[in-house]
Amino acid sequence: MYNKFLVEKIIKNALIEDMNYGDTTTDLLIDDESISEGIMIAKEDGIVAGIPVAEMVFKLLDDGIEFYDIKNDGEMAKKGDHIVRIKGSTKNILKGERLALNLMQRMSGIATKARLYADAVKEYNTRIVDTRKTTPGLRILEKYAVRIGGCYNHRFNLSDAVMIKDNHIMAVGGIKKAVEKVRRNISHTTKIEVEVKNLKELEEALEVNADIIMLDNMDIETMKQAVEITDKRAILEASGNITIERLKDIAKIGVDIISVGALTHSVKAMDISFMIIRS
């Protein structure tokens, strides 16, 4: 699912940010013996994501807190639906509720958007993938949410694969030089992706046997030609100015991958609230 140790680090850093010297209000108002029960409620329709992350928030504060899933990650929640139920120390529930909500709201918003994009191309053999346009420090959670929504992940970081983009090409002096130079120094297990802006650059990338070729900001007609020219000699990825309205037209062409930065960089958080129902 995700790396537990990385997620714990994210949560611990966020808890320190939120209460570096404790929770003044809760610590002064709530008795240590107080026990409460609360629920998370969907305030709008959406795909739920981040329930195990929210549970980790509360368990790191107090492993005695009881956490009950009502919905599961990947399920649709309608407005008014209960998502999880929590029971335990009132103090620790109150200390964790905002962080748990912040993470779940963000992740659920991403999953909801990813489901819309995935559904738009379900008739085609094309994968919708995310990008590195993620919130700094939250990438592992946001990319998990993309998968929960039904889309796929591109590389997680700069170490994952070789991606030779326009600025690399300009700096080195051409696609051929860039690919040949990097190929001399990488492991046989590492794939090479090259970004191209036109059909001439596509031909150059094919000549040097790039594994993946990114068609950057091309119109539909040019992408059609690129698919024909490539003839399955490389994986083709469409990228740039991708909107949900264009998805089907691009998928119809026969590209293998469509990368969409909007899955993470401009998503609206899903509205989820928390309410104590008995104490």
Q: Give catalytic residue positions.
A: 98, 133, 165, 195, 216
125 annotated as a binding-site residue: no
Q: List the beta bridge partners of residue 20.
A: 22
Is 122 labelled as part of a ligand binding site? Answer: no
**Annotated binding residue at 132?**
yes
CA distance 87 to 255: 49
Separation of alpha carbons 82 and 69, rounded Å: 9
Q: Could you tell me which of 98, 138, 129, 101 has the C-alpha nearest to residue 7?
A: 138
240 among the known binding-site residues? yes
Concatenating the DSSP letter of every residue in 63-75 gives TT-EEEESS-TT-
- Tokens 């599961």 belong to 72
Q: Is 246 labelled as part of a ligand binding site?
A: no
Consult the annotation and say whether 139 binds a ligand: no
- Spatial neighbors of 265 by CB under 8 A, at least 6 apart, are 131, 133, 134
Query: Does 216 show up as a binding residue in the annotation?
Result: yes
The annotation status of 165 as a binding-site residue, yes or no, is yes
Q: Which of 3, 19, 90, 106 is nearest to 54 (CA)?
A: 106
How far is 169 from 214, CA to CA, in rounded Å?
13
Would the annotation count 268 as a binding residue? no
Task: State yes or no: 106 annotated in a binding site.
Answer: no
C-alpha radius of gyration, the chain, whole number: 23
167 annotated to a ligand binding site: no
**Annotated binding residue at 149?**
no
Q: Do the Cβ atoms of 9 and 139 come closer than 8 Å?
A: no
Which residue ranges make up the annotated binding site?
98, 131-133, 155, 165, 195, 216, 239-241, 260-262
Which residue ranges make up the annotated binding site for substrate?
98, 131-133, 155, 165, 195, 216, 239-241, 260-262
